[in-house]
Structure 1
Amino acid sequence: MKIIVIGATGRVGSTVVSKLMANKDIEVYAGARHPKKVPVAPNVTPFKINLHDTKDEIKEALPEAGKLIFAAGSGGKDLLQVDLNGAVKVMKAAEEKGILRFIMLSSKGSLTPDLFSGKKQSPLADYLIAKYYADEWLMNNTHLQYTILQPTALVEKPGSGKVTLGDYTTNENSIDNVAEVLIGLAEHNSSIGEVIEMSAGNEPIPEAINHLN
């Protein structure tokens, strides 16, 4: 399997790459603004990608692969250019290049507009708005075989290997578990066209993904 990871030096993306490195049957193309920060491994090829570039420049940067995990984010610093427009440009470029399986790391509440304004406005409203329009574009304006993962708050704790998919039972997810789920979704087609809620839980990740069938 050949898989692209966008945001390969971020908190989630770097964890995805580290996990994929252990599987020598997978060719990993790790995309980042600073590819020299990507860990060295025989099955990992770093490449430079800047989400501020044009769609055609991003398309040229993308390697040939069948699957893509989008885990890039600006950390709230550049929501329009990275989290929204950058994501959409990657979608367009991937589709034109024939990279059809697209796993999007999103967030709890990204498709719940009532959280963006009014009395119950989320403190993450601006971030969720950016994710909303990126997710909506992916679902309604592409022919990509998408899966959108909506985890609750990401925390830097050791992964338990157990989660809840399709519902929220806790308010957090370990980054390690999120990375593992993203990989599992990329390896299985049962979730194509689905938006999947995720939180820490009691079901082993492989079983939780299998139950998405």
Structure 2
Amino acid sequence: MKIIVIGATGRVGANVVAKLAQNSNDEIYAGARKPEKIPAADNVTPFKLDLNDKMDDIKEGLPEADAIIFTAGSGGRDLLKVDLHGAVKVMQAAEEKEINRFVMLSSKGSLSPDEFADSPLENYLIAKYYADQWLIHNTDLDYTILQPTALVEKTGSGKVTLGAYSTNENSIDNVADVLIGLVENHAGIKEVIEMSTGNEPIPEAINELN
């Protein structure tokens, strides 16, 4: 399977690329603003992708692929240009290149605008809200939107709750495994999926989405 990872040097994206690199059946295209930072692997091809570029330039830079996993973010520094507009430009480019499978890493509560004012991440959630809304209502992509709770850097348990929240955190390791599982199993298409650390093995949780 040919998979593009957008945001391949970020905390989640780098983890996704590293895991996919272990499967020789997958061909991975790792997109980042600084592709030289992507570790070498036989089945990983780094490519330059700047979400501040014009949509046509982004489209030209996208390799031919079967799916996109979008994990990019500005870390709060450039929410409108990167987290919102950058994401939409990638969606538009994907449609024009007929890369129909699009898995979006989002955030808990991204589609609950009435709750934004109570969150310290209000501006981030606003950006994610409009990006997610665009994906749902303004594209024909086979999307999945994953809404994890807070990301933490700890070894993944391999067990999650999908479709509800049972804890207030997710290991980045688990999130990466779920993103990959959604793509490789064609699971959760046209769905918004809540996620937290839980008690169900990831493969079983993903299978229940089909």
Q: How would you bin the TM-score normalised by the shorter chain?
A: over 0.9
2:22 maps to 22
The yes-or-no answer on 1:12 pairing with 2:12 is: yes
C-alpha displacement at 1:98, in angstroms? Answer: 0.6
* Corresponding residue SS for 2:195: strand
Match runs of 1:141-152 below 5 Å: 141-152=138-149
1:126 maps to 123
Match runs of 1:48-63 below 5 Å: 48-63=48-63
For residues 166-185 of structure 1, give each alpha carbon's deviation from its aligned partner in whole angstroms, at most 9, with x where no partner exists.
00000000000000000000
Task: Quote the Cα distance in structure 2 between the aligned partners of 1:90 and 1:190.
Answer: 21
The yes-or-no answer on 1:137 pairing with 2:129 is: no
C-alpha displacement at 1:116, in angstroms? Answer: 2.0
* Corresponding residue SS for 2:28: strand
1:196 maps to 193
C-alpha displacement at 1:115, in angstroms? Answer: 1.5
The yes-or-no answer on 1:100 pairing with 2:100 is: yes
Match runs of 1:61-80 below 5 Å: 61-80=61-80
Q: Which runs of 5+ in 2 are unaligned?
A: none
Root-mean-square deviation over aligned CA pairs: 0.5
Task: Quote the Cα distance in structure 1 between the aligned partners of 2:125 and 2:134.
Answer: 14
For residues 92-129 of structure 1, give each alpha carbon's deviation from its aligned partner in whole angstroms, at most 9, with x where no partner exists.
00000010000000000100011223xxx211010000
The yes-or-no answer on 1:172 pairing with 2:159 is: no
Which of structure 1's runs of 4+ aligned residues deviate more than 2 A?
none
Aligned pair count?
210
* Corresponding residue SS for 2:99: coil
Task: Quote the Cα distance in structure 1 between the aligned partners of 2:62 and 2:171.
Answer: 29
Calculate the TM-score normalised by the size of structure 2: 0.99
Counterpart residue identity of residue 135, structure 1: D
* Corresponding residue SS for 1:3: strand
For residues 23-42 of structure 1, give each alpha carbon's deviation from its aligned partner in whole angstroms, at most 9, with x where no partner exists.
00000000000000001011
Task: Quote the Cα distance in structure 1 between the aligned partners of 2:25 and 2:209.
Answer: 25
The yes-or-no answer on 1:155 pairing with 2:168 is: no
2:42 maps to 42
C-alpha displacement at 1:190, in angstroms? Answer: 3.0
Task: Quote the Cα distance in structure 1 between the aligned partners of 2:187 and 2:34.
Answer: 33
1:3 maps to 3
Task: Quote the Cα distance in structure 1 between the aligned partners of 2:59 and 2:73.
Answer: 19
1:184 maps to 181
* Corresponding residue SS for 2:20: helix
Task: Quote the Cα distance in structure 2 between the aligned partners of 1:103 and 1:175.
Answer: 16
C-alpha displacement at 1:8, in angstroms? Answer: 0.2
Q: Percent identity?
A: 74
Counterpart residue identity of residue 170, structure 1: T
C-alpha displacement at 1:188, in angstroms? Answer: 1.7
